[in-house]
Amino acid sequence: MGNRSEKRITAIYPIRLWGMDANGRPFIEAATTLNVSRTGLLLKDVPAKLAVGDVIALKSGEQKCRFRIVWIGQAGTSEAGHLGLQSLQPHKYIWNLKLPAPAIDIYTRPQQCERRLSRRLRCSVSAQVRSGGSADSIRAFITDVSLGGCYISMSAPFALEAKLAIAIWLDERTKIWADGIVISNHQGYGIGVKFLNLSHKNLDDLKNFLELLPEPQSSASAITPAGWRERIWTKEK
């Protein structure tokens, strides 16, 4: 079952959005909403190259509001060009619509084919994790990893969308560094992290490490205890 915090309704609206893209360049684009709620929405047909955590502005009619990107559709799928947004001004309502009263939206996500662009494999390697500009790091273990991200086991997880600096010991002599963003957290279990960048050397070292790991016995073996597999973005579309 889904976990949206409020009900959404289907709404097809042309809008304008602008901000800075993933390359640090300003953009202004036209797009279309698919559904909206009081504090979030799903867009389609967004051509700009953006990243989770980016802040953009959106205009509907004469109303403007700032949003944070919390979900991006994977390239090469039917959801390419889709963006899930969360309002940074939740008391500012920009839609000329009558929305349902606040309530949890219980829904079932349709079955989809595998969306990952890289395989995720079980492992058990040490890591040091540091949040934002903090000088203090936390020792933890990575329990599965891919070229795109990892799951870090910890009892007190970081908040969603926290930016992290991660050091990963692939073996006794090989350590790689990566920046990441928290895309799911599960109290008492850990956090799902998406890598934001890896140097060519660190990427090569990670590829070599993945080749040494055994393939999972089934798709279920790639799921963490907290169910990260189906929670690529916990704030779903």
The domain locations on the chain are 9-87, 121-230
Cα separation, 209 vs 94, in Å, equals: 49
Cα separation, 69 vs 175, in Å, equals: 31
Cα separation, 69 vs 61, in Å, equals: 21
- Whether CATH 2.40.10.220 fits 9-87: yes
pLDDT at 176: 94
Sign of CA dihedral 122, 126, 131, 133: negative
Cα separation, 76 vs 83, in Å, equals: 15
- Whether CATH 2.40.10.220 fits 121-230: yes
pTM of the model: 0.47
Cα separation, 132 vs 207, in Å, equals: 26
pLDDT at 219: 42
- Compute mean pLDDT per 10 residues along the chain, 237 residues long, and list them: 59 86 83 85 86 88 89 82 88 73 47 49 91 84 90 88 92 90 84 86 90 65 40 39
pLDDT at 119: 64
pLDDT at 112: 42
Sign of CA dihedral 123, 117, 190, 217: negative
pLDDT at 175: 92
